[in-house]
Structures are given as structure tokens and as C-alpha cells.
Amino acid sequence: MLFRTVADFTARLPNGEETSLAGKAGKVLLIVNTASKCGFTAQYAGLEALWRKYRDRGFEVIAFPCNQFGGQEPGTAEEIASFCDTNFGISFPLMAKIEVNGPNAPPLYQWLKAEAPGIFGSRRIKWNFTKFLIGRDGRVVRRYASMDKPEKLEADIEALLQLPFQPD
């Protein structure tokens, strides 16, 4: 199957059920791999702030916990959700824990990395809190490194939200 937009994919919910991302068509998305015991974990606060500021305009953050980098996300789905709620009041969607690199990476992440390679064309995700910004058309606009704080993305998000949704 040829994947053209984020709407062509499914993602696993924390309970293991697959959910279609087709309902995200027309939204601006920020997809990020997260971890609870990382030096960048405080970015959860910035992600939540972006979500709260822009969600009524068609923006959504989707977090994919990942334990591939230094074992910094060892918890269960329930432990991760509890940590995020207790420490950051997270209200955006947390998906099931995944691997973002290697043969077990889901098709969504394989596509994201191919559409927006990292430095020197690398498809590999280097660390937790790598972010992918998706336009209303469902296509990848930009990849951001772990060190890029969520608030740095505001101008790009704002610009995308001002564009009308024009389905193919």
C-alpha cells in the first residue's frame, strides 16, 4: 500500500486496540516520541501548553511513549498515563508504547522518518522528544530535534493553522 498522508495509518491505543488516523484529516498534528525519565521530559509541559492553546483551532499533539533510548520509558501504559497526569496534567492523546527505530517500528513511524529525514538524511530517530509537524493535508511539514522546545514550534503551528483544509 502506498502511504500518502497520516490519514492512511493506524496507531495502537494504550489498551492495545488499533485506531485509524483518518479522523485526523484537516488537523495540524504534532507527533512526538516521549519518555518519562528523560532530560527532555519537562517538554511535556510545553506540549500540553501548545495543545491547550491551539486545540480549538484544529491542532492536536499525539504522543508515542518509547523505551528505546536509555530505557527511559520503562513503565506500563497505566504508569505512563499516571505519571503524565500527575506531573504535567496531560490531556492530549498518549498512544501505546512503541519502538521508533528498527524492524518493529510501526508503519507510521517508518513513513514519518522517510518523509522528514534527520541531519545528513538519516532516517533514524536519535532520541526522545523528536517531533514531526503534520499539515492539514496530512503530509509531513517538518521534523524537529529533541532539543527543540515545543514553544519554538509556535510560529510554524500558527502558520499551518491559518491555511485552509483542501482535501485531495
User: Which stretches does DSSP call E strand in the chain?
Assistant: 10-12, 18-20, 28-34, 59-65, 131-134, 140-144
Q: Given this model, what pLDDT does residue 107 score?
A: 95
For residue 84, is it within any domain?
A: yes
**pLDDT bucket at 3, cuts 50 / 70 / 90:** low
Number of domains in the chain: 1
b/e burial code for range 80-91 (CB count within 10 A of at least 16 → b)? beebbeeebebe
Quick check: is 1 in a domain? no
Mean pLDDT of 90-111: 95
Q: Is 166 within a domain?
A: no
Amino acid residing at 12: R
pLDDT digits (tens, 9 = 90+) for 12-68: 999 999 999 999 989 999 999 999 999 989 999 999 999 999 999 999 999 999 999
What global pTM score does this model have? Answer: 0.94
Domain-embedded: residue 17: yes
pLDDT of residue 66: 97
CATH of the domain at 12: 3.40.30.10
pLDDT exceeds cutoff 90 at 2 = no
> Which residue among 38, 61, 80, 141 is the active-site one?
38
C-alpha 44/C-alpha 111 separation (Å) is: 24
Q: Is the pLDDT of residue 117 over 90?
A: no
H helix and E strand count, the chain? 4, 6
Clarify whether 38 is annotated catalytic: yes
Contact 131, 113 (CB under 8 A): no
